[in-house]
């Protein structure tokens, strides 16, 4: 939800800011803008639309010379995405420009107060109150004015400030929205995340809630809420430049689908030693818990649903999965003996953070499964297991989701072992280590996917059905399809069809049936026969050797033979590719689907 970037150095700021915004565009892409300081004044260019439109506009204005500046790419919350509401926003006196990611909850009250003092607001945004407050509090000391400004804000913010008065100095502030400072040689940066900076520096400082920073080309000083200097650790990031580029693929999503074998290897290999699952980083005694609650949003929740099946099966302890946006306002029955597992690629999802805080207040221990190192969820959790998927740029998650499942598989095995329930660990770890290969096979054995996409792309709706973990994968398959191709797709537990949904089945209605679990295959087969006898076209996802399903389905997708306990992580891959190719057929903006943003840092 919005990306911000700032640069101060000795070279031109605008190209660095625009390149940074291109890399942050996955966070929001309905409008964008930059502001650059030069000769005691701030120049600003903003536009509705994507960063490419901003690049054209900046070029047309002569490139915006200047060696310090700030930039923003927006996912609108307050005010429609037009040029005026695009960031940066400027104080009435033109002395300050501000970019902001987050939501200022008390903006209406602050705006009223400022208007009463004679401030004329230009935009409908909540952000403008920040810059107008700053302008009104400024009496020659920006740090003091900024501290006073942020003390008035309720909500979440990562803020970048550019001043006309102090050449080459940027300010930044953070509360509950991601913000890092990048350390260069004779140049320094801030950004919402490392993807914007990785071509310039891999050395960063993570800002914490309540802190502000003063950034010049040669010095970075971080202060706490009282204005006292804080000593911060430097962190070296291992993500490389290539991982944030498309590398010849048409879309980041396709690249990230294809990266899954390598991503899963990076997730699994370091945790398997001598035929055992080792989570040296965990530091929790699994005997202390007698129930498990998994919470997350969207695809991460779907990974949690897979995890729930496995934990129940292997560990024989009560396990539930609940979406975080419900859990945060519900009454979960949890306490000190509950292990809450939160799952998040970005580590910044607002609902997940709120749910985890609620669970901690109830006395539960929170274990986070997260991709982004140093993210808010990673910092707040009692223990963290990283997925090590590398940067995920496409808005629709793929390798983020499959690596979450891989960690949940290993965690289930680890817990089962600690409860004395795991038999034949060596065989299980062999299966886990083979998963990256199996994913590659699943990619290779389905060359018909583009043709299937041509057949199904114009359908009115798609139904995904399955049972148990097949159902968990159906949820994710339907989400992938709808979010990138805009084709109405729903997932149903196959046995639920006859309780209502079957009324929608008519001649040529496509039904995607997931049949990868031999123990319940007969049951799903019956559901396939039921929908076929009402005219449905069935695209079945199964094993090549499954003659019963192969002979009854109209079309087929295959996965290689794999223990059904661990098939979910393979099954999703052909469905990701199907969604990708349907979206291509429909001419959709695959990496940046409409109305979405990758990191949902607002409620």
Active-site residue set: 2, 598
Question: SS3 of 409, please?
Answer: helix
Length of the chain measured in residues: 603
Q: Which of 285, 287, 362, 373 is nearest to 331 (CA)?
A: 362
Q: Interhelix angle for 142-151 vs 128-137, to 10°?
A: 130
Whether the Cβ atoms of residue 66 and residue 36 lie closer than 8 Å to each other? yes
- Give DSSP secondary structure letters for 117-157: TT----SS-STHHHHHHHHHH-SS-HHHHHHHHHHT--EEE
What are the Cα distances from residue 365, in Å, to 78, 332, 470? Answer: 36, 14, 30
220, 277, 396, 408: which one contacts ligand F6R (CB under 6 A)? 396
Alpha helices in 445-520 (DSSP H): 449-456, 469-485
Quick one: 300 or 385, whose CB is closer to ligand F6R? Answer: 300
Residue 375 in the binding site for ligand F6R (CB under 6 A): no
CB of 27 to ligand F6R, least distance (A): 11
According to CB under 6 A, which residues from 19 to 38 bind ligand F6R? none
Q: Pick out residues in 207-236 that bind ligand F6R (CB under 6 A).
A: none
Q: Between residue 447 and residue 506, which ones bind ligand F6R under the rule CB under 6 A? A: 479, 483
- Residue closer to ligand F6R by CB (options 57, 255) is 255
Which 317-356 positions form the footprint of ligand F6R (CB under 6 A)? 344-346, 349, 352
Comparing every residue's Cβ against ligand F6R, the nearest one is 298
Restricting to residues 287-316, name those near ligand F6R by CB under 6 A: 297-300
Q: How far is CA 238 from the centre of its chain?
A: 19
Residue closer to ligand F6R, measured from CB, 297 or 531: 297
In whole angstroms, the minimum distance from the beta carbon of 564 to ligand F6R comes to 24
Among 397, 440, 469, 527, contact with ligand F6R (rule: CB under 6 A): 397
CB of 345 to ligand F6R, least distance (A): 4
By CB under 6 A, how many residues form the interface with ligand F6R? 15
- Which of residues 320 and 351 has its CB atom nearest to ligand F6R in the complex? 351
The number of helix segments (H) and strand segments (E) in the chain equals 18, 27
Cβ closest to ligand F6R, residue 8 vs residue 397? 397
Nearer to ligand F6R by Cβ, of 37 and 299: the residue is: 299
Return the number of the residue (352 or 489) whose C-beta is nearest ligand F6R. Answer: 352
* Binding to ligand F6R, residues 127-156 (CB under 6 A): none
Contact 516, 567 (CB under 8 A): yes
Exposure letters 378-392 (e unless 16+ CB within 10 A, then b): bebbebbbbbbbbbb
Whether 220 and 204 have beta carbons less than 8 Å apart is answered as no
Name the token pair of 106: 């008390």
Measured CA to CA, the distance from residue 377 to residue 367 in angstroms comes to: 10
- List binders of ligand F6R among 512-541 (CB under 6 A): none
**Minimum Å distance from CB 353 to ligand F6R?**
9
Q: For the CB of residue 376, give the shortest distance to ligand F6R in the complex, in Å.
A: 10
Q: Where are the beta strands (DSSP E) in 192-324?
A: 203-206, 212-215, 220-223, 229-230, 235-236, 272-273, 276-277, 291-296, 319-323
- Spatial distance between the Cα atoms of 352 and 331, rounded to a whole number of angstroms: 15
- Do residues 4 and 101 lie in contact, with contact meaning Cβ atoms separated by under 8 Å? yes
Closer by beta carbon to ligand F6R, 467 or else 598: 598
CB of 190 to ligand F6R, least distance (A): 21
Strands (E), 398-460: none
Give the shortest CB-384-to-ligand F6R separation in angstroms.
Answer: 14
Closest distance of CB 101 from ligand F6R, Å: 15
Interaction mask 582-601, ligand F6R, x per CB under 6 A: -----------------xx-
Residues at the site binding ligand F6R, with contacts judged by CB under 6 A: 297-300, 344-346, 349, 352, 396-397, 479, 483, 599-600
């Amino acid at each position: 939800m919005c990306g911000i970037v700032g640069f101060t150095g000795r070279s031109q700021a605008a190209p660095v800011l625009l390149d940074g915004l291109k890399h942050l565009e996955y966070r929001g892409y309905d409008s964008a803008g930059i502001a650059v300081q030069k000769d005691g004044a701030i120049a600003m260019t903003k536009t509705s639309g994507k960063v490419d439109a901003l690049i054209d506009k900046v070029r047309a204005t002569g490139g915006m010379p200047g060696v310090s500046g700030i930039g923003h790419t927006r996912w609108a919350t307050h005010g429609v995405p037009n040029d005026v509401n695009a960031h940066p926003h400027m104080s009435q006196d033109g002395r300050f420009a501000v970019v902001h990611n987050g939501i200022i909850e008390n903006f209406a009250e602050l705006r009223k107060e400022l208007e009463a003092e004679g401030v004329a607001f230009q935009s409908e945004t909540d952000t403008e109150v920040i810059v107008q407050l700053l302008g009104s509090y400024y009496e020659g000391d920006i740090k003091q004015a900024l501290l006073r400004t942020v003390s008035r804000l309720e909500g979440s913010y990562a803020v970048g400030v550019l001043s006309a008065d102090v050449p080459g100095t940027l300010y930044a502030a953070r509360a509950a929205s991601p913000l890092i400072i990048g350390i260069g040689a004779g140049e320094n940066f801030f950004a919402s995340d490392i993807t914007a900076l990785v071509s310039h520096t891999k050395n960063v400082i993570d800002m914490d809630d309540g802190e502000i920073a003063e950034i010049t080309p040669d010095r970075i000083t971080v202060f706490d809420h009282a204005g006292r200097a804080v000593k911060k650790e430097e962190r070296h990031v291992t993500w490389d430049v290539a991982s944030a580029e498309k590398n010849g693929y048409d879309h980041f999503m396709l690249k990230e689908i294809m990266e899954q074998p390598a991503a899963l290897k990076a997730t699994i290999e370091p945790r398997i030693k001598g035929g055992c699952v080792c989570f040296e980083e965990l530091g929790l005694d699994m005997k202390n818990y007698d129930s498990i609650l998994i919470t997350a949003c969207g695809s991460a929740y779907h990974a949690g649903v897979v995890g729930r099946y496995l934990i129940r099966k292997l560990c024989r302890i009560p396990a539930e999965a609940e979406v975080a946006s419900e859990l945060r306002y519900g009454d979960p029955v949890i306490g000190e003996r509950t292990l809450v597992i939160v799952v998040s690629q970005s580590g910044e999802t607002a609902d997940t953070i709120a749910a985890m805080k609620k669970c901690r207040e109830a006395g539960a221990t929170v274990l986070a499964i997260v991709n982004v190192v140093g993210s808010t969820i990673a910092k707040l959790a009692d223990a963290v297991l990283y997925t090590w998927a590398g940067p995920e740029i496409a808005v629709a998650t793929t390798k983020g989701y499959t690596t979450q499942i891989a960690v949940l598989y290993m965690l289930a095995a680890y817990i089962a072992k600690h409860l004395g329930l795991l038999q034949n660990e060596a065989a299980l770890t062999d299966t886990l280590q083979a998963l990256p290969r199996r994913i590659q096979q699943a990619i290779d054995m389905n060359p018909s996917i583009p043709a299937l996409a041509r057949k199904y792309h114009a359908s009115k709706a798609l139904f995904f059905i399955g049972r148990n973990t097949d159902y968990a994968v159906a949820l994710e398959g339907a989400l992938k399809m709808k979010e990138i191709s805009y084709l109405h797709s729903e997932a149903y537990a196959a046995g639920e069809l006859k309780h209502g949904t079957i009324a929608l089945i008519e001649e040529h209605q496509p039904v995607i049936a997931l049949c990868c679990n031999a123990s319940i295959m007969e049951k799903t087969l019956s559901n396939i026969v039921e929908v076929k006898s009402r005219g449905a076209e069935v695209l079945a996802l199964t094993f090549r050797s499954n003659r019963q399903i192969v002979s009854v389905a109209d079309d087929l997708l295959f996965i290689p033979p794999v223990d059904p306990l661990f098939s979910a992580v393979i099954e999703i891959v052909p469905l990701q590719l199907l969604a990708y190719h349907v979206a291509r057929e429909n001419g959709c903006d695959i990496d940046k689907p409409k109305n979405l943003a990758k990191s949902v840092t607002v409620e």
